[in-house]
A = this chain, B = another copy of it.
Amino acid sequence: MKILSLEVIKKALSIPKVLKAIEDGFIAYSQGQTVIPPVASLSFKDPPGDCHIKYGYLKKGKYYVVKVASGFYENPKLGLSSNNGLMLLFDKQTGRCVSILLDEGYLTDIRTAAAGYVAAKLLAPKNITNIGIVGTGAQAYYQLKFLREATKCRKVMVWGRDIEKAKKLSMHHDLKEWEIQPIKDLVELASKSNLIITTTASTQPIIFADFIMPGTHITAVGADDTHKQELDENIFVKADRVVVDSKSQCALFGDASHAIKKGSINFEKLVELGDVLVDPSLGRTSEEQITVCDLTGIAIQDLQIAECVFSSIS
C-alpha cells in the first residue's frame, strides 16, 4: 500500500491527464458505467462544519474510491484552511487498500476546477468579454487558473464579502497574466460578466436572475450540501440550458435542487455534463443563450483523479 503525501501528489499530477480523465469520467457516469451511491455526510454544530464521503467505482475499472472531505468554516481563525480531506483507493478484486492519498483537500480542489474548465469550454459563449469570479477562496483561485486553457479572455472581476480578500487574490503571483479587478458590487460583476463562476459557501442566493445579461454562462461550484445555495431559483427558470454534473445528485442538493424542490423548474430540464460532452448540441446552441452549470462534485471525479495520481506513481 502506498501512502502519498501532498508533496508527492503535487509532483505526480499531470493537469492535461486530469482534464482528460475528468471528461472521460463524466461521460462514463452519464452512460451508466459507474456505481455511485448517494453521498454520505455528517454535519457539526459547534463549531459548524461538515464532512462528505463520496465513494464509488467504474463497473469496468480496477479500483474503487472512498473520499473523505471536510469543511470547517471557522478554521481560518485558527490559521487552518477550511477544507481538508484524503482519498483512499481500493483494489476492486480484493478490497485491499492500494493507496492513501493524503492530499489535504488539494485533489478535490483540482478535480472541481477541472470540472469548471470542462463546463466553461463546453457552455460559455465564444466571445467572453469579462469573467466574474464570486468568492475569494482556494476554489476561486483554481477555477481561474484552469480557465486559462478554456478562453483567451483575461479580464476578470473578483467579488468577496471581504474586499481585502478579493484584492489579495487579484495580486496572486500565479495569476499575473490576468487583469483582475476586485469589486464590491456583486450586481456590477454579474451584469458585466458573461462567464460567471460562483465558489462560495453561501447558504442563501447571492446571484439573481435580473443581474444576468443574455449570452451569459454561470458555473456554480459552491453549493455542495442541502443548506447551501448561491443562485436564485429564477436563474434556472431564465436559463435556456441547465447542465449538471449528476441529475440524481443535483435533485438532492446544490443550487438546482432548490429550483426543483420549489417547483420552479422540472427535473427534466436538467442535462448532464457527460451527455453534453458526447453531444454538444445539448448545451449552448447560440451566443445569446443563458446557460447554467451546477457542479456538486461526484465520486467519479475523485476516482479519476486518484487513479491519475496512483498510476503515475506506480
Contacts and interface: CB of A to CB of B under 8 A. Distances in A.
A213 B112 CA distance: 60
Contact of A42 (B35, B70, B72): B35
Contact of A94 (B75, B90, B102): B75
Given A3-B3, A42-B56, A55-B42, A96 B68 contact: no
Interface in A14-63: 35, 37, 40-42, 44, 47, 49, 51, 53, 55-57
Contacts of A68: 66, 88, 90, 97
Contacts of A42: 35, 37, 55-57, 64
B84 A51 contact: no
B53 A53 contact: yes
A277 to B, nearest CB: 25
B53 A55 contact: yes
Please classify how large the interface on chain A is, using the bins under 10, 10 to 19, 20 to 34, 35 or more. 35 or more
A72 B55 contact: no
Contacts of A75: 94-95
A86 to B, nearest CB: 6
A90 B72 CA distance: 12
A239 B94 CA distance: 38
A41 B92 CA distance: 14
Interface in A75-101: 75, 78, 80, 83-84, 86, 88, 90, 92-97, 100
A40 B53 contact: yes
A71 interface: yes
What is the copy number of this chain in the assembly? 2
A93 B93 CA distance: 37
B96 A51 contact: no
Contacts of A96: 70, 80, 84
Interface in A193-251: none
B78 A55 contact: no
A84 B78 contact: no
A208 B56 CA distance: 37
A33 to B, nearest CB: 14
A240 B37 CA distance: 38
A66 B47 contact: no
A205 B88 CA distance: 35
Contacts of A1: 102
Contact of A70 (B70, B72, B95): B95
A90 B70 contact: yes
A97 B93 contact: no
B72 A94 contact: yes
Contacts of A35: 42
A70 B3 CA distance: 19
Nearest to A49: B95
Interface of A: 1, 3, 35, 37, 40-42, 44, 47, 49, 51, 53, 55-57, 64, 66, 68, 70-72, 75, 78, 80, 83-84, 86, 88, 90, 92-97, 100, 102
> Closest 7 CB pairs between A and B?
A70-B95, A40-B40, A72-B95, A84-B95, A72-B94, A66-B68, A49-B95
